[in-house]
DNA sequence: TCAATTTTGTGACTCCTTTCACAAAACTTG
DNA sequence: CAAGTTTTGTGAAAGGAGTCACAAAATTGA
């Protein structure tokens, strides 16, 4: 295998494979072929093999892939085998929903702090939801707490008007990854990564497909 | 302009242009060039023009595009000019956050009903949040209410274990569009459309980028 | 009115992604 | 152990998507 640039789409699919493999592992399946995994993930079997080929050889010809091993390998590739420490900034409706979002716990994504301009307002509701409540700090302590708690990813769930200034704070605090739920484009320096989650963009997509089919 | 298949990516970008144009309209800008719009949306100027060219000619050579007209045209193309009637199924933390999600109101996406297995549990919290509270029905009334209220898009925010059966109900009720927040693959017949919003998939993406840069 | 300027719309090119097709490798069975 | 079967890994082909570069169209100003 020679080195090549890895397509963004490949990474997205790896995450999908990872999820499917987890389900398979839970239901006790030990070996899986590229064709089985592909049909489960709604992709082409050659695609599965090619995606994996970017990173090495993981299968046994004539047999397939060991579910457990492949899952580990994919998680190692994605970097989702380690625990990622996250903070939520903006503890409104969406923010507090994320604080108690169960799928984060199953995967290795852990929210270790949260921030708001008006911290006390929601403490009660959040702590009642979880076994171990996530503390809510005032935003002006973001830099301090982010360093202290080694936060690596920030989830921005503020109103759009505040998103860029929160992003600036995160950058200043050295938080290199941002998941932006605020429906506005934010800009960060080289070396930092922003991924947007814009519900209305996805709805626009759906609306287009529904209008034209 | 001859007919061509329109790339999925083009549709996503149109939604982005739409958002930028809205901001421009609000700030009183009347005319915009492809270069300006492009830099604002972080894409190539030729890309903007090509995306639009799939659907016709909207600009004036030597001048640019009229913000207002272009915005209308794009919304018409996307189908986001009409009001879309939606339902939330699964009124947990995420579901109720969506019920009071402000950006839906600004765009033409309206939640007109919600469903849960245990409807009364959250009524108080939801209704207190909004001017006009969204009613919560028992899931077994989904088909009935969906038809009555002309629901076109369903937002699935149940636990993953229930997602497929909820999708089946939506299909049965003739709800053609599904936005799936439950972290599991769901299957629908030809003619129905599912878009997934998997937070952990996006985090996996982020994790990969952070691990390898 | 006409030359200079601006900016669109688009054919051609390049680059990237997916699919195909088959040799190579491992396992199975008699 | 050898022939048959299965399934991987991968070069080559096909298919899409993004960028470039320029003619065409509109405006401006003298």
Q: What's the CATH class of domain B8-76?
A: mainly alpha
pLDDT at A33 over 90: yes
Whole-number Å distance between alpha carbons of A113 and A146: 8
Confidence tier at B169 by pLDDT (50, 70, 90)? very high
Q: Which residues from B are below 8 Å from A212, CB to CB?
A: 79
Nucleotides of chain D within 7 Å of a protein C-beta?
5-11, 16-21, 24-27
- Which residue from A minimizes the CA distance to B187? A42
Residues A79-109 as b/e (b if ≥16 CB within 10 A, e otherwise) read bbeeebbbbbbbbbbbbbbbbbbebbeebbb
Q: If you measure CA to CA, which chain B residue comes closest to A17?
A: B201
pLDDT at A47: 97
Q: What ranges do the domains of chain B cover? A: 8-76, 84-201
More confident of the two residues A5 and A71: A71
pLDDT of B130 higher than 60: no
Q: Does residue A124 register a pLDDT over 50?
A: no
Q: How confident is the model at residue B120 (pLDDT cuts 50, 70, 90)?
A: low
- Is A183 in Cβ contact with B193 (below 8 Å)? no
- Per-residue pLDDT of B132-141, as tens digits, reads 789 999 999 9
Q: Identify the architecture of domain B84-201 in CATH.
A: 3-Layer(aba) Sandwich (3.40)
* Per-residue pLDDT, B105: 87
Nucleotides of C strand lying within 7 Å of any protein CB atom: 5-11, 16-21, 24-27
Nearest CA in chain B to A16: B201
pLDDT of residue A125: 47
A69 CB neighbour count, 10 Å cutoff: 14
- Specify the pairing of strand A31-32 against strand A65-66: antiparallel
Chain B residues with CB-CB distance to A211 below 8 A: 78-79
- Is the minimum distance from the CB of A194 to strand D below 7 Å? no
Assess whether the region A8-77 and the region A84-201 belong to the same CATH fold: no
Q: What is the pLDDT of residue B2?
A: 46
Interatomic CA–C1' length for residue A125 and nucleotide C2, angstroms: 74
Q: Which helix (H) or strand (E) holds A31?
A: strand A31-32
Summarize pLDDT for B22-59 with one digit per residue, the tens. 999 999 999 999 999 999 999 999 999 999 999 999 99
User: Looking at per-residue confidence, does A5 or A78 come out higher?
Assistant: A78
Per-residue model confidence (pLDDT) at position A128: 45
Smallest CA–CA distance, residue A54 to chain B, in Å, is: 14
**Confidence at residue A133, expressed as pLDDT on a 0 to 100 scale:** 85
- Long-range residue pairs from A140-146, CB within 8 A, at least 24 positions apart, any chain: A141/A115, A142/A87, A142/A89, A142/A115, A142/A166, A142/A169, A142/A170, A142/A173, A143/A169, A143/A172, A143/A173, A145/A87, A145/A113, A145/A115, A146/A87, A146/A113, A146/A170, A146/A173, A146/A174, A146/A175
Taking 70 as the threshold, does the pLDDT of residue B123 lie above it? no
Chain A residues close to B160, C-beta within 8 Å: 103
Closest-CA distance, A4 to chain B, in angstroms, reads: 14
Instruction: Please report the pLDDT score of residue A119 as a whole number.
Output: 74
Residues of B in contact with A159 (CB under 8 A): 102
Beta strands in chain B (DSSP E): 31-32, 65-66, 84-89, 109-116, 136-138, 153-156, 177-180, 193-196
Which of these CATH numbers, 2.40.50.100, 1.10.10.10, 3.40.50.1820, 2.40.30.10, describes A8-77? 1.10.10.10
- Average pLDDT over chain A reads 91
Q: Is the predicted pLDDT of residue A122 greater than 60, yes or no?
A: no
Q: Does A19 touch chain B (CB under 8 A)?
A: yes
Residues of A in contact with B105 (CB under 8 A): none
pLDDT tens by residue, B62-110: 999 999 999 999 999 999 999 999 999 999 999 999 999 999 988 899 9
- Tell me the CA–C1' distance in angstroms for B150 and C11: 46
Q: In this model, does residue A120 exceed pLDDT 70?
A: no
Three-state SS letters, B27-62: CCCCEECHHHHHHHHCCCHHHHHHHHHCCCCCCECC
Q: Does A111 touch chain B (CB under 8 A)?
A: no
Write out residues whose CB is closer than 7 A to strand C. A 5, 7-10, 43-44, 46-47, 49-50, 60-63; B 1, 33-35, 45-46, 49-50, 52-53, 57-65
Average pLDDT over chain B, rounded to whole?
91
pLDDT beyond 70 at A58: yes
Residues 6+ apart with CB under 8 A from A182: A90, A156, A157, A158, A159, A160, A162, A163
Angstrom CA distances, B195 to A127, A194, A199, B21, B183, stand at 32, 21, 11, 25, 12
**Hey, are the CB atoms on A199 and B78 less than 8 Å from each other?**
no
Cβ contact A146:A172 at 8 Å: no
Query: Cβ atoms within 10 A of the Cβ of A123, count?
Result: 16
Q: What is the mean pLDDT of residues B147-161?
A: 97
């Amino acid at each position: 295998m020679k080195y090549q640039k890895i397509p963004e789409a490949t990474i997205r699919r790896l995450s999908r494979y990872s999820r499917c493999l987890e389900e398979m592992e839970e239901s006790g399946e030990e070996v899986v072929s590229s064709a089985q995994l592909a049909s489960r993930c709604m992709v082409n079997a050659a695609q599965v093999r090619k995606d994996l080929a970017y990173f090495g050889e993981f299968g046994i010809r004539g047999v397939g892939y060991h579910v457990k091993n492949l899952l580990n390998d994919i998680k190692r590739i994605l970097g989702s085998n380690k625990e990622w420490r996250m903070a939520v900034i903006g503890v409104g409706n969406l923010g507090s929903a994320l604080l108690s979002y169960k799928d984060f716990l199953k995967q290795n994504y852990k929210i270790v702090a949260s921030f708001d301009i008006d911290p006390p307002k929601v403490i009660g509701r959040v702590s009642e939801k979880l076994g171990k409540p996530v503390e809510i700090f005032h935003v002006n302590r973001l830099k301090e707490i982010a360093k202290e708690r080694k936060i690596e990813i920030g989830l921005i769930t503020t109103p759009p008007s505040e998103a860029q200034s929160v992003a600036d704070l995160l950058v200043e605090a050295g938080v290199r990854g941002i998941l932006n739920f605020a429906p506005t484009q934010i800009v960060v320096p080289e070396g930092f990564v922003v991924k947007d989650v814009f519900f209305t963009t996805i709805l626009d997509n759906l609306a287009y497909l529904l209008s034209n089919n």
